[in-house]
A = this chain, B = another copy of it.
Amino acid sequence: MHRTQAGHVTVEAHRESVRRLLAPLRTPDRIERLPLLAALGRGLAADVVAPLDLPPFANSQMDGYAIRSADVPDGGTGLSVVAPVPAGAAPPALAAGTAAPIMTGAMMPPGADAVVPIEQAVPAAFPAPGVPATVRLPAVPAGTFVRNAGSDIRTGEPALGAGTFLGPGQLGLLAALGFTDVPVYRELRVVLVTTGDEVVEPGTPLGAGKIYDSNATLLESSMRQAGLHVTRTGIATDRPGELAALLRRHAPDADLIITTGGVSKGAYEVVRQAMEGHDVDFYGVAMQPGGPQGIGTFDGVPVLGFPGNPVSCLVSFEMFLRPALFDLFGSPAPRPAVRARLAHALESPPAKHQVRRGTVLPDGTVRLEGGAGSHLVSALAHSNALIQVPEGIDALAEGAEVEVWML
């Protein structure tokens, strides 16, 4: 595995390890077909080819007159107005020297090759249906205000590739192509265990030395948004035997186990201890926060051990699990990566990839929210972006351009 000079695993190498850990879950029997709306937020499990042209037929882009463009240079004497073409109808061919009132989206009559908007006609209003009338129109080139069949996508062309995240635009395209359902990967079932003798459930009394569990809420909500099915076990104590027993109980129903805390090099690292005898590695990733990470399998079930601080948990999810899931299953959507200019100077440990929290402002700058500390959950709650400061950088000046991931 690729390591930095300081002996840490690189961010990219750990992300790839997470991807490899989860890759065996991408099997054909995990594919299901769902109605379009039920597939919102899932990943497409197979390539989709367009079964028809879009638009399916040449149609008008405007309310106006469908004409044969070659007629119009002589149109000074006026074109005879024929029966209008309403949307949804299959009109008869357009005779030479005539103009057919046509509505936006309506099929071009055979023979017609251009549309003149009603505003450019003289008179600039449609005649009453059935009343003989003529209209004078300006000359326009063939193709004017015509949407040709297949001009958006043609029959047989790739419409969406396997692994595409299905948001409103993608589902809209599938509907436009006539699909009612779509193959997607089933939800992964995640068992989430927060650990620590210092951690208590919100809503209970807070004794001295205790903190409320925010990791479970942070991660469960992140994973729910990402389309994962989450089971929370409650807070595990710092007794490794109890944690191991709890994991053994839940493993049969899990595709993935996520733990928080107990993965660094202290004297009491419950997750490390509970995983002894299982195929789980614990190492440092060259990242701040979120450096200590565990990865492997417990009773054959993939397990990721995130660090214990809330910001470290969120950063671990965003930097490793989200990209791996998108790469394998097309869901959740990747965070949009954009460029922004730092509103303040910052310092970063050069041996690590630093992830700071900030707010991207409409002027294209990004304001830091709080310091680098991984316990700053209030600062996190006031951020809309993760600022990426790559390894090798020890300082950035105000105004420096950085990559930010929009939360």
Contacts and interface: CB of A to CB of B under 8 A. Distances in A.
Interface of A: 36-37, 40-41, 50, 52, 54-57, 61, 63, 84, 86-91, 101, 103-107, 118, 126, 147, 151-153, 159-160, 167-180, 196-199, 202-203, 206-222, 224-225, 238, 264-268, 308-310, 314, 336-340, 360, 362-364, 370, 373, 375-381, 383-385, 401, 403, 406-407
A63 B267 contact: yes
A370 to B, nearest CB: 7
B216 A175 contact: yes
How many copies, total?
2
A274 to B, nearest CB: 16
Contact of A63 (B54, B175, B224, B265): B265
Given A172-B221, A172-B310, A172-B314, 11 more contacts: A55-B375, A56-B206, A56-B211, A61-B373, A89-B197, A89-B198, A104-B309, A169-B381, A172-B217, A176-B214, A180-B203
The binding surface of chain A is classed by DSSP as: loop
B373 A209 contact: no
B37 A224 contact: yes
Contacts of A337: 362
Nearest to A129: B267
Contacts of A173: 214, 377-378, 380-381
Nearest to A216: B175
A101 B267 contact: yes
Nearest to A341: B339
Contacts of A101: 267
A45 to B, nearest CB: 17
Given A340-B338, A370-B152, A52 B206 contact: yes
